[in-house]
A and B are shown apart, each in its own frame.
Chain A
Amino acid sequence: MTLLELQGLSKSFGGLAAVRSASLEVNTGDLIGLIGPNGAGKTTVFNLISGFYTPTSGSIRFRGEEIGGLKAHQVANRGVARTFQNIRLFRELTILENVRIAHHPYAAYSLADSILHSRRYRDGERRLRAEALEYLATFGLQGRAETLAKNLPYGEQRRLEIARALSTRPSLLLLDEPAAGMNPQETVALMQLIEFIRERFELTIVLIEHQMRVVMGICQHILVMDFGEIIARGDPQEIQRNPRVIEAYLGQQAG
């Protein structure tokens, strides 16, 4: 089943085309790698899907509904979550608060409910808290629920950001260079964790990676972008042999 479909998606800033006529289909349950050299337009694609940018042209359909041009919180409420290349946690909030902040339908009690501690409030909060603790446990952060996010070491901040994204209960998770700044062992561990959460929370995942070999291990399907265009798609073996991909990467090394 097609979960996300981009058709002829373009975004330009002034005269500069950051994404040119990108088309892709993501099926439910996929784990897709989006790779390409720096400045290829990968993050722009994420910004378009998650509602930070309005497409210049083209369409973004999520579960069959056009979401291009919706506001970011509306996209989030439809089940799309993402993380950032540079970590953007709520630094002054505790770890638990970071994963409890997400807007949920059953947290829709009023301010009066919360001040009066009505039953609706207590039940809603109890469920949310239990769920939040489960996300933390999945990411090995359970013992530090009351620590401020800014006091976590770097690798754990990265994990917390993914946990926070999960707390919105997405069906599609967009990870922007989740392994950035990690050493090879940490990277391998993270990739295993991503595989695990994909099954545990029945997610569809698109992840951006800068280094090709990181995604080769876990993604069945890989898309390669260069200069705003998707230049190749296929399984890891096909991608590694593709002359345009080799050129894009070697070209970057030679330059």
Chain B
Amino acid sequence: MEQLLSQIINGVQVGTIYALIALGYTMVYGIVKLINFAHGDLIMVGSYVAYLSIVHYQVPFPAAFLLAMLVCGSLGVLMDRIAYKPLRARPRLYALITAMGVSLFLEHGARNLPFIGPSFRRFPDVFPTQNYVLTGSVTVTNIQLFNVAVAVALMALLQYVIKYTRVGMAMRAASQDPDAARLMGINVDRVIATTFAIGGMLAGAAGVLLAVAYPRLSPYMGIVPGLKAFVAAVFGGIGSIPGAMVGGLIMGVVETLATAVYSQVAEGVFFVILIAVLLFRPAGLLGQPTVEKA
């Protein structure tokens, strides 16, 4: 029982990070119907930005955190501008394949930069680990608390922006009907750029949180969490923001529990659940069934 509780705490920590990443996938998909396969690599970029600024420039951690978000947000916009926007009017497959190309470019680009790759880097300890005992042998670390708190705060902020601000309203409108949004005088290209910026910032934040929890950095470190977050987004219902949050959280908890029981099959378990959900709810847990427009 106590072990179960500890594992759930671990799972929640990973899950909230997955949720942050999944939000980027789902928001971009919601508005341009593109699975941005390069999204996961922003995690890597984020953690390296924080790493380099802390280790080489002695930037304090909070500033490094914000810097990582800003760089990743800008990189998200740049990605769209250079690689995806020119292909907007083309069949969706073009942009999808381009996204894979962007992903490889980022990974191998990073690997070839002397101050990044190819060897692993260790993320510095930003604060000394402390354990708090909850009950019996169940403990929670200050890092876990920090990660979950930051992730939840970012998600709450996002939810506020989406629900109550003009930008958020424009994002929702543009994802429902871009043409009608244009008629309202909304610059849909700018809304799309904003979406990439927000998605990138969340991925950057996720990258730093991940590095704080698992301090081993490599140019390929974004691939696996990116893939899992993508699966979590599909599980929650791609295009649905609450879906991405719930999907990420469930993904993290299930994965951690499965690892604790039998680590060999851990990563398979979630996919089994994913397949089961998609069989009965093809649009995902919270997704809206869509009718393909001709």
Contacts and interface: CB of A to CB of B under 8 A. Distances in A.
Contact of B185 (A52, A77, A84, A97): A77
Contacts of B169: 93, 97, 100-101
Contacts of A82: 183
What does DSSP make chain B's interface, helix, strand, loop or mixed? Answer: helix
Interface stretch (B34-42, B94-102, B171-179): B171-179
B161 A111 contact: yes
Contacts of B167: 111, 114
A144 interface: no
B165 interface: yes
B176 A92 contact: yes
A168 B173 contact: no
Contacts of A167: 184
A103 interface: yes
Contacts of B181: 90, 101
A252 B181 CA distance: 35
A114 B165 contact: yes
B168 to A, nearest CB: 9
Nearest to A98: B173
A180 interface: no
B90 interface: no
A93 B184 contact: no
Contact of A73 (B161, B165, B176, B186): B186
A102 B161 CA distance: 17
Nearest to A114: B165
Interface string A36-80: 000000000000001110000000000000000001110011000
A92 B188 CA distance: 18
A88 B180 contact: yes
B161 A76 contact: no
Which of B164, B172, B176, B180 has most A Cβ within 10 Å?
B180
B187 A73 contact: yes
B170 interface: yes
A115 B185 contact: no
A152 interface: no
A166 to B, nearest CB: 11
A95 interface: no
A184 to B, nearest CB: 28
B160 interface: yes
Contacts of B157: 115
Nearest to B175: A92
B92 interface: no
Contacts of A91: 176
A168 B176 CA distance: 18
Given A77-B185, A115-B161, A93 B179 contact: no
B56 interface: no
Interface in B170-228: 170, 172-173, 176-177, 179-188
Contacts of B165: 111, 114-115
A4 interface: no
B170 A101 contact: yes
Interface string A100-137: 11111001010100110000000000000000000000
A89 interface: yes
Interface in B147-169: 157, 160-161, 164-167, 169
A203 interface: no
A111 B179 CA distance: 23
Which of A90, A92, A104, A164 has most B Cβ within 10 Å?
A90
A98 to B, nearest CB: 8
Contacts of A107: 166
Contacts of A52: 179
A165 interface: yes
B176 A50 contact: no
Nearest to B167: A111
A164 B176 contact: no
Which of B157, B170, B176 has most A Cβ within 10 Å?
B176
17 contacts: A51-B182, A71-B182, A73-B183, A73-B185, A76-B182, A77-B185, A88-B180, A89-B177, A91-B176, A101-B169, A103-B185, A103-B186, A104-B185, A107-B166, A111-B167, A115-B157, A167-B184
Given A101-B170, A102-B185, A111-B165, 6 more contacts: A101-B169, A101-B181, A103-B185, A103-B186, A107-B166, A167-B184
Interface of B: 157, 160-161, 164-167, 169-170, 172-173, 176-177, 179-188, 288
Q: Rank and list the top 3 A-B pairs by shortest CB-CB distance, nearest first.
A: A103-B185, A72-B182, A76-B185
